Structures are given as structure tokens and as C-alpha cells.
Structure 1
């Protein structure tokens, strides 16, 4: 199925995970799980839209610096949870142009290689593990009437892995999970075009342009880096969700009860 893009005017990559089917034939409920990019640019109209949509939990995976530099617009009646996946932004999407120039102008593959390592870190580093553990505690504390929105800056890497873990826990098949992950590229074209033009305007060379493009998009190889790390170090996703994320069988049953429609 096509991703369910929300009608947000001053933000990007806002998607409802509702409608995806599980391997046992159930469907994720609508108006329950929303993944997105940053919330600092939302208009009053967008804030009203998300409130009417039922968002009552706002989970922010950004680093403390990102949060202070571009605070979320407050959503009425929504509880805000700061759950930094990294202490600093390892995805690099919040770097200044000068920082990007210094780091990536000498190597066209610099951005790509950075992201491959970042996805290993998303699996292995303790702050990331702790953030995703707490994310699932938020999900398990929700009731069946409200939506949880989870986001980072671009809504593709830290948010993308949050969605991978969540969809896996709900029993969605791996092909659908991959398609949802890669779909981010459809919905980040406006900020991508802006940052690419800004890089050109500053005189960025071809190496830097390629790195910036890789930093601002998703590739199957990035997800594969995370999944290969999970398999090599933990034996597979189910073990990782149990042993590292802390989801018991009861937790997964509760998640499925909260977020899936009944079969048939």
C-alpha cells in the first residue's frame, strides 16, 4: 500500500502508519501512529490539524542541541517526551555549512559512509537503545483513542529505525517495513532541494554535493547496515527487541492489542 501522507502545510514527511498489514492478516489502526520530520515550522493550522487528528504524545528523538535550536511547536493536549537517540546529531542533517564543508568536501563517499556507520550506532549505542526502550514505554502507556507522533529532524533515520522496530514488533512483514523506510525519499524533496541549492550557492564542490545528498536521503544499504548488525550481534530482530529494547511477549501482545485491528 502507499504511505498515508498527512495534510501538513509547514512540515514534511508526516505519515500515518495505519493500514499496513501484519503477517497474520491484521491491520494497523489509523490515527494511532504517526512518524514525521521536525515540528518547529508548523503553522497554527497544522497544530490544529494534528490536535484534531488525535495526537496526544509527541516523542522527539533529536539531540539536545537540535531541540534547543528548533523547539517543537507545542501541540495542545499532547504530552512531550524528549528521548534523544544520540547526544549529538550523528545523522549530520543539522550541521552548519562550514562543518559540512570541512568534513565532506574531500570525499564524495563521506556522507554515505557516515550514514552506514550511523546505522550501526543506532543499534549498538546505549543512548539509542535507551531512547527506543522509553519510546515503547510511551506506546504501551497509550490508550486506544489517541495517536502517538514520533519524529527527529528529517524523519528518516532515527525515526526510520523507530518505525522499523515498531512495525517489527507489530508483526509487519520485512518487505513492507523496507518499503515504508525507503518511502521517506518521496517526502523530503523540498528540504533536500533547499539544502542542495544552499550548498551550491556556497560554492560546494561535487564531493560535498554528493555527500549532502546521501546525508539527506535514505538508502537500502543504510537499513541493511542496521539489520546486519542486529543479526551479527544479537541473532535477529526478535531477540534484539526482547533483550535490548526490553519487549516481553506480553508487551508485544499488548502493542498488537493497542494498535492492530482484529483479524477478519
Structure 2
């Protein structure tokens, strides 16, 4: 494999490894009523050549029989590899704003988003606890022992746990909260993304869906759907890394490439331990007032 292809493999890996009172009642302890509600049809997958984890969250059912509107919230992975055809397709979605949750290191390593002309880009970096840089260095070392020491024996899972706990830093809470406020005021679609579109993006999507009354089990299903969307690309990345001689055991990356119930549970446990329940998390953690919550529901559900 020539140096150009090795570089492409590295970039591919980096993209893969790398969270009124009536309105508040919709989100605080919906409980058995929410779980009993039938879910509407799932989200609409948006097929792009340069991004694999892109979907419109419209279509999910709420506990009271309504459903999330299409053309309002789009979640995605990094958009730096989009083709001209992809950009043209995004233009047809009438995006109002794109929010990039990646760190500066991720943007520098993977490239800036490619967007339709005139679509505003908001850089709102949420800390990844240094995972991107550490993984990059380990992979490029080509050292199996270093890679095993960093990722083996449950260490990769520990890294992911630290990522989800970091969602509750003051800075991260502020940025997640601001993005939810943006969604309350969106006219056309707002798209947000991180690198793989599964952790920071996954948590934000889970929170948003629950905030408008989608049952927890359905919001969790959306979170886990990233495994389905990313499976082929992630497997190809591992195969390419082995072929290129960058990793003898690329399966070490699987815990970093996947989303898991255990990871989401870490964040949910933080919600309960720090704030008591999900409703208080929205108000005290994310700083959303009752008016914003009502506006979010009215804007995203119909």
C-alpha cells in the first residue's frame, strides 16, 4: 500500500473512532405511560457517499400519540468527505444551520465540513477527553504492545465511559443546552454532528427526543441505530488498518467504534445522580426554562 493510501486509511480510522410547567411534565418521569405508547415509523436515513451515519429524526412517536416532524432535526457524522453530489443533496434539505460538535484537533485532522453555499456553520466543540489525539498517536505508532496497553483488557471501554461522563462538565452542558435551544427556534432543518455521529451526537439526539416526549426505549433505539449504520464502514476500516500494517489487532477498536447500552447508561446514571430525574436535568443541567421546553415541543412535534 502506498503512502497516499496509508494516509487515507488513517483518516478513515480517525473518522470512525473517534453526549410552561405543562411542557416540563412531558419530560419529567413520563414512566409507564410513555413506555406503553406505540412508536411511529423510524427515522429517514439520508444516504450520502461521504458520510454513513446521517438521518432525519422525524417520524418517532411520542407518548401522547403525536410524532416528531420531519425536516427539523438531522443528526450526522463528519461532513468533510462529502462529494459534490452529497453537497447537492444536502442543499435540497434546506438546512438552516449546521452545528459542528468536534474539537479543533478533530477538525484539523479530518477536514472542515463541506456544505451547500450559504448554510451557516456553528463551531461548538464538545470535549472528547483527548480520545482523538490519543488514538491517532497509538495507531500511527504501529506498535502492537502500545496499542494493547492503551485499548486492551477493558481499557477501551473505560475510555468510552470517561467520554460519556465528560458530557456533564459545565462547558459540555452549556453547549448541549445551547444546541437544544437552537432546535426550539429552528425554522428549516438544523443538522448537528461530531466525528462518528454516535456519542456526542447520539447523546444530544437521545436528550432531544426524550425532551419532546418520545419514550425512553424509542430514544434508546435511535441511539443504538448508529451500530447498524456504521457497521460496514467500521469493519472496512479495521480490515484496511490490518492490511496497511498499522494494527495487528484492529478489533481493539471495536469498543470505540460502537455505541452500547452500557455507555448510554453511564450518562443516564449521571443524570439521575446529579439532578434526580430527567426533567431536572433539562432545567438545571441544560438551563432550559419552561417557555423553551414548550417551544421545543411545539416546533418539533406535530
Same fold, TM exceeding 0.5?
yes
Residue 237 (structure 1) aligns with:
278
Superposition pairs for residues 1-264 of structure 1, below 5 Å? 1-69=41-109, 70-86=111-127, 89-90=130-131, 95-96=136-137, 97-98=139-140, 104-106=147-149, 107-122=152-167, 124-143=168-187, 146-201=188-243, 202=245, 204-206=247-249, 209-261=250-302
Contact map agreement 1:93 1:216 (CA 8 A) in 2: no
Shift in Å, 1:117: 2.0
Cα distance in structure 2, aligned partners of 1:153 and 1:203:
21
Distance 1:74 1:150 in 2: 12
Select between 196-205 and 42-51 the one with higher mean Cα deviation. Answer: 196-205
Instruction: Kindly state the Cα deviation for residue 216 of structure 1 after the two structures are TM-superposed.
Output: 0.6
1:227–1:75 Cα change, 3 Å: same
Q: What RMSD, in angstroms, separates the aligned Cα atoms of the two structures?
A: 2.1
Q: How far did residue 260 of structure 1 move? A: 0.9
Q: 1:114 to 1:171 in 2, by over 3 A?
A: same
Cα distance in structure 1, aligned partners of 2:158 and 2:84: 39
Bigger share in helix:
2
Instruction: Provide the TM-score with structure 1 as the length reference.
Output: 0.90
Give secondary structure in 2 for the equivalent of 1:105. helix
| Counterpart contact for 2:90–2:115, Cα < 8 Å | no
Q: Deviations over 1:127-163 (max 9, x none)?
A: 21121122123223322xx100010010000100110
Query: Is contact 1:15-1:35 (8 Å) kept?
Result: yes
**How many residue pairs are counted as aligned between the two chains?**
256
Stretch of structure 1 that moved more, 64-73 or 54-63:
64-73
| Contact 2:46–2:54 (CA under 8 A) maintained in structure 1 | yes
Q: Which runs of 5+ in 1 are unaligned?
A: none
Listed as ranges, the gaps of 5+ residues in structure 2 are 1-40
The whole-number CA distance in structure 1 between the counterparts of 2:133 and 2:210 is 26
Native 8 Å contact 1:60 1:150 kept in 2: yes
| Deviation, structure 1 residue 5 | 0.6
What is the rounded CA distance, in whole Å, between the counterparts of 1:186 and 1:50 in structure 2? Answer: 22
Q: Is the 8 A contact 2:99 2:121 kept in 1?
A: yes
- Partner deviation per Cα, 1:203-238 (whole Å, 9 max, x = no partner): 6344xx343011011110000011011111111211
Aligned counterparts of 1:242 and 1:100: Cα–Cα separation in 2: 46
Checking the alignment, whether the CA contact within 8 Å between 1:59 and 1:80 is kept in structure 2 is: yes
The structure with the largest alpha-carbon Rg is 2
Deviation of the 1:66 alpha carbon = 1.2
